[in-house]
């Protein structure tokens, strides 16, 4: 498995605080995150695994690993993209996540990892 980052696979994440699903002021604080995976490579790829590193203010870091995302192992065509949404909760008003996706090059079957950029989830009142 190649350990280098492949920049031709672009990953972006947008977060949203879920006020109606959070229990304020003590928590948990619930967030949605929308992920876009864009394949700029000249061949199709398949997202096989995810490895998340989740950092909580009180609980420290946790690692979450598993097959695919949201129960899928999507194939992404050249110049194609895959989008999905997922959810998480923190027991403090702040947390962050980063990690890796493992992909398979569907042309030559080679596996490679792509880093998921670090993103934060913050209870909006803390930003004022």
Domain with 66 in it: what CATH number?
2.60.40.1470
Q: Is residue 4 part of a domain?
A: no
Q: Are 80 and 114 in contact (CB under 8 A)?
A: no
Q: Provide the number of structural domains found in the chain.
A: 1
Strand-strand pairing, 9-17 and 29-39: antiparallel
**36-69: pLDDT as tens digits:** 999 999 999 999 999 999 998 777 889 999 999 9
Asked whether residue 51 is domain-assigned, the answer is yes
Asked whether residue 121 is assigned to any structural domain, the reply reads yes
The whole-angstrom separation of Cα 95 and Cα 97 is 7
- Inside any domain, residue 1: no
Residue 22 falls within a domain, yes or no? yes
Structure tokens, 46: 């398949």
- Considering the domain boundaries, does residue 111 fall inside one? yes
More confident: 7 or 48: 48
Report if residue 119 sits inside a domain.
yes
Measured on CA atoms in the order 34, 55, 8, 76, is the torsion positive or negative?
negative
Q: Phi first, then psi: give them for residue 3, nearest 5 degrees.
A: -95, -10
Say what the pLDDT of residue 7 is.
63
3-class DSSP assignment, residue 20? helix
Domain that holds residue 55: 9-127
Averaged confidence pLDDT in the chain: 91
Distance CA 54, CA 37 (A): 20
């Amino acid at each position: 498995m190649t350990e280098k980052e492949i920049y031709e696979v672009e990953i972006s994440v947008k977060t949203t605080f879920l006020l109606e699903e959070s229990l304020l002021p003590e928590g948990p604080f619930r967030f949605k995150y929308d992920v876009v995976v864009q394949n700029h490579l000249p061949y199709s790829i398949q997202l096989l695994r995810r490895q998340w590193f989740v950092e909580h203010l009180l609980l420290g870091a946790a690692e979450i690993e598993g097959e695919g995302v949201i129960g899928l192992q999507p194939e992404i065509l050249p110049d194609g993209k895959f989008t999905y949404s997922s959810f998480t909760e923190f027991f403090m008003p702040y947390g962050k996540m980063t990690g890796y996706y493992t992909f398979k090059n569907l042309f030559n079957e080679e596996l490679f990892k792509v880093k998921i950029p670090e993103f934060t989830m913050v209870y909006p009142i803390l930003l004022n």
